[in-house]
Amino acid sequence: MASSESITSGEFIRHHLTNLTFGRHADGSWGMAQTGAEAAEMGVMAVHVDSLFWSFVLGALFLWMFRRVAVRATSGEPAMLQNFCEWIVEFVDENVRGSFSGKNDLVAPMALTLFCWIFLMNLMDLVPVEVIPRFLALFGIHFQKVVPTTDPNITFALALSIFFLMIYYSIRVKGPGGFAAELIMHPFEAKNPVLKILFIPLNFFLEFVSLISKPISHSLRLFGNMYAGEMIFILISLMFGAGITLTLFGGFLQFIWAVFHILVITLQAFIFMVLTIVYMDMAHQHH
């Protein structure tokens, strides 16, 4: 793309880091942004159509595949896909049993969904940078980011969903008083009533910061790792079309990074799932 359209490396990178955005234009009309500047001007009310589209498609793929296996499951000699799905279910179930001490039938299915869904979204990072955007450009679609987890809106949405569930179950299990006591009676404790009162604002500040940091770190860890990986793929793709030597070297680097990135995308899905289980376990603990 860089050579065929005679654009600079900076323009190439900015193009591939711009989402297909729907929102309100400066003149008050609604529509798709045609440039990166238009997308930025749309502000917080804009919708990243590509991130939402690929998220829904990959989520539907996960549901379809597991439902298909569940419907056709056999107790004799299972097919390869059934073996694979059963292995994933057992893997997630072992992690839930090892990290979650409460009783909640929601946790294991939620952990399985998050692991598979995030893995599939991360897996899109292995699709060559130019393939899908070039194909969609034939139909007049100028921007296309196909890795939803490189969009902080997606990772924050996932993390905030877990955060709100954690707050809900904390209040439900401990009661409003127990949840409030966790925020104002720890980590500093005292038997003296005066000291107890004095420690309340300090405890609340420390616990509130700890509470708010959970969804922030939960989302930014996934986003940061996937964004960095996507950026490296984009930088490597700049070598293609710059001469036979750089093209061959770029192809070699892309293969090596793709092999290493398989570990990254799996690990990030696993970490997000494990943190979800841990946060849900904290919500179900009694102090």
Average pLDDT, the chain: 88
**Residue 6: band (very low, low, confident or very high) from pLDDT cuts 50, 70, 90:** low
The answer to whether residue 95 is catalytic is no
Helices 244-284, 107-123: axis angle to 10 degrees equals 170
pLDDT exceeds 90 at position 182: no
Domain contains 92? yes
Domain contains 142? no
Alpha-carbon distance of 115 to 123, in angstroms, equals 12
Residue type, 68: R
pLDDT exceeds 60 at position 4: no
Alpha-carbon distance of 210 to 67, in angstroms, equals 38
Domain contains 2? no
Question: What pLDDT digit, counting tens, does each position of 252-261 carry?
Answer: 888 888 889 9
Three-state SS for 68?
Answer: helix
Least trusted range by pLDDT, from 85-89, 195-199, 211-215: 195-199
% of the chain beyond a pLDDT of 70: 97
Phi-psi label, residue 243: left if phi above 0, alpha if psi -120 to 50, beta otherwise: left
Q: Which domain holds residue 270?
A: 50-135+150-284
Domain contains 41? no
- The catalytic position among 24, 99, 104, 221 is 221
> Can you tell me the mean pLDDT for 229-249?
83
Residue type, 192: N
pLDDT exceeds 50 at position 3: no
- The catalytic position among 51, 203, 225, 237 is 225
Domain contains 33? no
Are residues 130 and 243 in contact, defined by beta-carbon separation less than 8 angstroms?
A: no
Alpha-carbon distance of 18 to 41, in angstroms, equals 13
> Can you tell me the mean pLDDT for 177-201?
85
Alpha-carbon distance of 133 to 19, in angstroms, equals 11
Domain contains 34? no
Count of structural domains within the chain: 1
> Can you tell me the mean pLDDT for 197-201?
87
Provide the greatest CA pair distance for the chain: 77
Question: What pLDDT digit, counting tens, does each position of 83-109 carry?
Answer: 899 999 999 999 999 999 888 999 999
Are residues 82 and 72 in contact, defined by beta-carbon separation less than 8 angstroms?
A: yes
Element containing residue 23 per DSSP (H, E): strand 21-24
CA gyration radius, the chain: 23
Helix then strand count (H, E) for the chain reads 9, 3
The answer to whether residue 225 is catalytic is yes
Domain contains 239? yes
Domain contains 171? yes
Q: How many residues does the chain have?
A: 287
The answer to whether residue 101 is catalytic is no
